[in-house]
Structure 1
Amino acid sequence: MSVEQIHRARTEAATDPPAPTAGIDWASTDHAVAIVDAHGIQILREMVEHTAAGLNRMMRLLTRAGVREVALERGDGPVVDTLLEAGFTVFVIASNQVKNLRQRYGAAGNKDDHFDAYVLADTVRTDRRRLNPLTLDSPATVTLRMTVRARKDLVAARIAMANQLRAQLEHVLPGAIKLFRDIDSAITLAFLTRFPTQTKVDWLTPKRLENWLRTQHHPHPARTERLHAHLTAATRGTVGDQAETRAHVTAALVAGLTTLRAQIKALEEQIETQLLAHPDAVVFTSLPQAGIVRAARLLAEIGDCRSRYPTPESLTGLAGATPSTRQSGKVKIVSFRWAVDKELRGAVMDFAGDSHHANAWAADLHRRARAHARARGHDHPHATRVLARAWLHVIWRCWQDGAAYDPAQHRALQTVLAAAA
């Protein structure tokens, strides 16, 4: 293109009026839509239902107004899918940012769906160059993310119900607590199904307990004497008429935990199938101590859209592995970063917190980070964040190249190994 053509194109672009921009305040039943023109004047203010007809009407309103760019507070769901399929450029502005942006238009900062939609639309108009368009991961990654997060929610529900069962047993049957390693293990749930009351536990002799353990294929039936001694030494539970009544609560909790365990196992099987079929599986399964579920969680939360994280710093910042720095005059404060992707941070910290058990470089860095943290009065999670930041640089490089983590090519690891030799 010649200099004259470039100049002509720039002149035409400058004379063309900017297209209107839109903002949508997403809700479960209906959505507030606002459209502003190039001068920030609101030219449309509508409420549309969250139905197929409502979303079609929204698309017609946006198209008729000449909108090409739309802002929302969340980056998933039917509304986003519909906008992207219709060819709109979508920007995601976090709710905490919208809360601060309200101050532009008034000191009160009141929350209103229509007003938030207007703020979103006007922010695209004024701050377009600071916003990054939404980029989607592949359907395989989105599906894996849904499965991984569903498993995480079920695990949280299992932990909560296990705590509820433990509290129940403290009154009803204290001897069953710590009888086996985990309160929600298969052997504990089987024991509570067969012996839900103190009266039935009293019936047990060492021989009877050993016979029952054999029916459960317990790996250590020879430990019967110790298990029986634990039952007899524990505080006695509820007896009499109330024992049978309270046993119904125990049975309900046992049934709930049994179901949760089965569903978690089923999801883990799906996670393994989805992960091993994913093109990026080789990157994350090669990481030390990653396993299947941990590797799948890392992949699901980082995603497979390389343009989303053009630098390792962009990944470490969103994962909360770098501190937040505030400076005013001579005062400089370095503190914990709160505005992060919490799902991503959870996946990264979970991996980093266990990686030092299987990698000499990670163990050395974690040891030095803990010593430094103690010297400065920081806690143990601070050292984990330091290690996570270092790992994210390694992961980012492997992820960008689509290559497995190779300890032989990890120069920092080889330096530690050489020093220890």
Structure 2
Amino acid sequence: MAKCVGLDWGGREHGVCVVERASGAVAARFMVRHDAAGLADLVKRLARLGPPGELPVAIERPNGLVVETLMAVGHPIVPIHPNVVKASRPRYSAAGAKSDPGDCYLLADLQRTDGHRFRPLMPCSPGLKALQALVRGRAALVRQRVALANQLRTLLEGFWPGAGVLFAAIDSPIALVFVERYPTPASAARLGEQRLRAFLVRHAYSGRRSAAELLARLKAAPQGRASVAEAEAKGVLVRALASVLTRLGAQIRAVTQRIERDVAALPDGPILMSFPCAGRLCAAQILVELGDVRERFQSADQLAAEAGVCPVTRQSGKSRGVVFRWACNHRLRHAITGLADNSRHACPWAADIYQRAKARGCPHPHAVRILARAWIRVLWRAWTERKPYDPACHRGALALAA
């Protein structure tokens, strides 16, 4: 490969710089617009400089339309983390200047000088990419639901606190139906035990609290001091938020059902689902971050570092410290620790590791990460060998049972 390409992603325009691998001289530098004509022009200009397979493109963002376009014609994509680019910027400018043309040259030259440190992007199968879009999209919807539920709770605390504490969760179906039916204190002025009982039966309330207990909880809450006009105005907002949360919850449930169906159909789905208390949703969250390219993680230690379940050692002279690992795949860490936390309720081996960590004084999050680190070894072995988890082959579990 005689040339290296650097592409600085922009909203409307992308900067491109091509340098000679031997001398580092700039062979071409241009800007392309983010539209159909601009992307076609990008492909044509790069084709004039050499075959696509011999022109690797360094870019900070490892996904998107530009990446898909370049990979479709055969260009190797070399993702470089923005933190690496930021740390390397003083090598090229003592003043710390930053510009799009400068960044695309920096990316191209980093690939030329340090290309052996960066691994080319290895895309997953189409089925796994579709599952990845569903899983990450669902996570965004869940975050939006939490934000809207917090907004609704804060709104109710200002003029009608009782409605916010009547049920366990403000975004539960029964709570949303209640605040949509009774959005203000005035609308619930005539609500008695008999009416509340009929309301609970009509909406199939499955909680353990009786109508009398719920009514007592409603009356024991502080009384709002808002005027009639203010309460009516806030009641309109309560109904709007309750309606949005109801529709959002229904869509999240639909996406969850699609994820549970799709993960079972993938070849690696049953492997992740075979772990104790993994379930389909947690298995899908782990699978989309692992991918289906086995060469991506050469060892269990590399996977543990990517998942952020092993600490970082910082040593200089006589000073040595072991600190929490911040730089990692946060989605993978959330999924792996969730699997570990669930597994201790069904697997004696996992429960033993967790309890021994707690006995050493580790708090719950630290103990869960220790357990996740232990599961990583088993998970990596099952994933690389394409075999479901088998307790009969798990030496640690067998030793504990013996």
TM-score range, shorter chain: over 0.9
Q: What percentage of residue pairs aligned between the two structures are identical?
A: 43
Is 1:116 matched up with 2:100? no
Is 1:174 matched up with 2:161? yes
Residue among 261, 276, 292 paired with 2:249: 261
Is 1:211 matched up with 2:198? yes
Match of 2:284 in 1: 296
The Cα RMSD (Å) is 1.7
Is 1:401 matched up with 2:401? no
Match of 1:8 in 2: none
Determine the C-alpha separation between the residues in 2 that align with 1:338 and 1:317. 10
Is 1:390 matched up with 2:377? no
Deviation at 1:222, TM superposition (A): 7.4
The answer (yes or no) to whether the contact 1:210–1:221 under 8 Å persists in 2 is no
Residue among 339, 361, 371 paired with 1:351: 339
Match of 1:63 in 2: 47
Question: Secondary structure of 2:165's partner?
Answer: coil
Determine the C-alpha separation between the residues in 1 that align with 2:381 and 2:319. 35
Residue among 186, 191, 207 paired with 2:173: 186
Structure 1 residues 343 and 222, CA gap change in structure 2 (3 angstroms): closer
Match of 2:114 in 1: 127
**Aligned amino acid, residue 34 of structure 1:** C
The answer (yes or no) to whether the contact 1:286–1:405 under 8 Å persists in 2 is yes
Give CA-to-partner distance per residue, 1:367-400, whole Å, 9 cap, x none: 222333x2xxx64322222211111111111111
Is 1:45 matched up with 2:25? no
Residue among 283, 304, 319 paired with 1:331: 319
Give CA-to-partner distance per residue, 1:112-148, whole Å, 9 cap, x none: 2111111111111112222211111111111111100
Determine the C-alpha separation between the residues in 2 that align with 1:417 and 1:318. 31
Question: Secondary structure of 1:111's partner?
Answer: coil
Is 1:240 matched up with 2:228? yes
**Aligned amino acid, residue 244 of structure 2:** G
Match of 2:84 in 1: 97
Question: Secondary structure of 2:210's partner?
Answer: helix
Give CA-to-partner distance per residue, 1:233-276, whole Å, 9 cap, x none: 22223462322221001111111111210110111111112111
Residue among 290, 310, 330 paired with 1:322: 310
Q: Judge which range, 215-224 or 194-203, deviates more.
A: 215-224
Match of 2:9 in 1: 26
Structure 1 residues 220 and 301, CA gap change in structure 2 (3 angstroms): closer
**Aligned amino acid, residue 257 of structure 1:** L
Structure 1 residues 221 and 344, CA gap change in structure 2 (3 angstroms): closer
Is 1:309 matched up with 2:297? yes
**Aligned amino acid, residue 357 of structure 1:** H
Determine the C-alpha separation between the residues in 1 that align with 2:29 and 2:316. 40
Q: Judge which range, 326-335 or 405-414, deviates more.
A: 326-335
Is 1:161 matched up with 2:134? no
The answer (yes or no) to whether the contact 1:199–1:239 under 8 Å persists in 2 is no
Structure 2's unaligned 5+ residue stretches are none
Deviation at 1:25, TM superposition (A): 0.7
Deviation at 1:312, TM superposition (A): 1.1
**Aligned amino acid, residue 263 of structure 2:** L
Structure 1 residues 222 and 78, CA gap change in structure 2 (3 angstroms): closer
The answer (yes or no) to whether the contact 1:99–1:109 under 8 Å persists in 2 is no
Structure 1 residues 239 and 230, CA gap change in structure 2 (3 angstroms): farther
Q: Judge which range, 379-388 or 49-58, deviates more.
A: 379-388
**Aligned amino acid, residue 270 of structure 1:** R
Q: Judge which range, 239-248 or 82-91, deviates more.
A: 239-248
Is 1:144 matched up with 2:131? yes
Determine the C-alpha separation between the residues in 2 that align with 1:152 and 1:222. 31
Residue among 371, 389, 414 paired with 2:398: 414
Determine the C-alpha separation between the residues in 1 that align with 2:115 and 2:375. 33
Determine the C-alpha separation between the residues in 2 that align with 1:53 and 1:405. 50
Structure 1 residues 221 and 215, CA gap change in structure 2 (3 angstroms): farther
Is 1:276 matched up with 2:259? no
| Aligned residue-pair number | 397
TM-score by length of 2: 0.94
Question: Secondary structure of 2:279's partner?
Answer: coil
Determine the C-alpha separation between the residues in 2 that align with 1:385 and 1:220. 34
Determine the C-alpha separation between the residues in 1 that align with 2:44 and 2:395. 56
Give CA-to-partner distance per residue, 1:158-206, whole Å, 9 cap, x none: 1111111111111222111221121110000111111111122220111
Match of 2:64 in 1: 77
